Amino acid sequence: MVFNSYVFLFLFLPVVLVLFFILGRKNEQWAAYWLLFASLCYYVSWDYRYLPILLTSMLLNYAACSRILAVEQVRRRKIWLTAALVFNLLMLGYFKYANFFIATINGLTGKEMSLLTLLLPMGISFFTFTQIALLVDAYQGKIRALHLDKYLLLVSYFPYIVAGPILHHKDMLPQFSDKNNYRPTATNFAVGVTLFVFGAAKKLLIADNLVPLVDVAFTDSPQFLQAWLGVFAYTLQLYFDFSGYSDMAIGVSRLFGFQIPFNFNSPYKASSVSDFWLRWHISLSRFLRNYLYIPLGGNRNGQVARYRNLIVTMLLGGLWHGANWTFVIWGGLHGLYLCVQHGWQGLRRHKVESTSRLAAFSNRSLTFLAVMIAWCFFRAPNVSSAFKVLAGLGGMNGLSLGTDAQYLEYTVLALGTFIAFYMPNTNELILHLDSRFANTPDSFSILQVRWVPSLRWGVAVGVLLVFCLLTMEQTKDFIYAQF
């Protein structure tokens, strides 16, 4: 049951929402229990076999976290933390990477070990990382107490569990304990519905309509113009698909009164690769920085160690996305990009950086090109296919555009380009009603659009929703749902 389905919009969401606020008027604890039950039902709707895996993960992690909070000896707390981390990594490794390791061993040794028949639980990477962050913070003394019901709700919370954003306990647990969040407000409904419709439009009207252009480029050996057009289309498709899901998740959560942090901030307007990672999949970037890069030593032990930590962090970040060497290479490329950037900045640290528009345009263009090239490995089914696309980009497969793409896809590509590079990001549209994001920079100022809860915006959002509903039956799966 996906967000962009009739069952979710006209059955699940209204029922859960109405009962949540009815119960919230009487007792917010009952409302929280109902939301927990609804979240588990939502998860079961994908496959009932997922539920035992999720419950086992949640209960064992809660038990370990409770022991970490209860014991005073640092050594014993560290033992509990280590055991919990090993459990999480083993579970993630078994369900998500076991066949990848077997296939790799077969390729290296020439053996023919049989692959395992495994069920990959939906959202396992997201709920595992959410729990790892909580365990580490409990060990570091950043958490004093933890209640089972709120913990279970945090981990299973249905708006995020399929494709994120990765939740952090310090953002969500205080909200789950705030009685005011169990009362409906006009602002929450206005912002929630608007965000949901914006996200649905990104997914249904832009991302899904770019698929034909993308498929042409990543099938067989694309020629020069096919390759460039297709890779650029995928660059936009991935952004609108994933940020569309994130906006929908934030919007659904806001209907219930809970604010999930924004996961994107106009990433294709980034002026460097490090700036890109401050804007793209922000929740994952925060996790990798706080729970991997900094514990590895960050930039505290010299440049060589810094480069090593960057490479390791991005390689593991790439592997987090999926059990395929293409993701490892994609992560490694971004690690290399970051090393080159920091090395270049180190060489020029005594020089005054140009602030001209030409310099800004050059930085953004170079960053975007580097990111787009790396997406070739992210999208390709295997490494050899990725290199065929790269060969096409270099003109080694011929120069023809081909006739597979239709005018609709070119129109959507032009529209998506305009929105991705000139329109303010969703968080800028809703900015003035969310004081917690008041410091988010206005990263591009060619076109200013200010959202306000007004009749004009209501009509515009309503029309956009009608277009989304009309195309909902032809929707494609969310790209990040597989991670």
Domain residue ranges of the chain, discontinuous segments joined by + = 6-184, 187-482
In whole angstroms, give the CA distance from residue 339 to residue 325. 21
Whole-angstrom distance, CA of residue 144 vs CA of residue 321: 32
Closest CA to 309 of 300, 298, 301: 298
* 3-class state of residue 216 by DSSP: helix
The catalytic residues are 321
CA angle 380, 419, 4 (to 5 degrees): 65
- Scan for tokens 């490995």, then name that residue: 377
* Residues 320, 223: Cα–Cα separation, whole Å: 31
Q: Within 10 A of 466 (CB to CB), how many other CB atoms are there?
A: 10
pLDDT of residue 249: 94
> In Å, what is the CA distance from 101 to each residue of 116, 128, 264, 318?
11, 20, 32, 15
Print pLDDT tens along the chain (483 aa): 788 889 999 999 999 999 999 999 999 999 999 999 999 999 999 889 999 999 999 999 999 999 999 988 889 999 999 999 999 999 999 998 888 888 888 877 878 888 888 888 888 999 999 999 999 999 998 888 889 999 999 999 999 998 878 999 999 999 999 898 999 998 889 889 999 999 999 999 999 999 988 988 888 888 888 889 999 999 999 999 999 999 999 999 999 999 988 899 889 999 999 999 999 999 999 999 999 999 988 888 888 899 999 999 999 999 998 888 999 999 999 999 999 998 888 777 767 666 678 888 888 999 999 999 999 999 999 999 999 999 999 988 887 655 555 678 888 888 888 888 888 777 766 654 544 433 333 333 345 566 777 788 889 889 999 999 998 887 778 888 766
Is residue 84 within 8 A of residue 135, CB to CB? The reply is: yes
- Give the containing element (helix H, strand E) for 296: helix 294-296
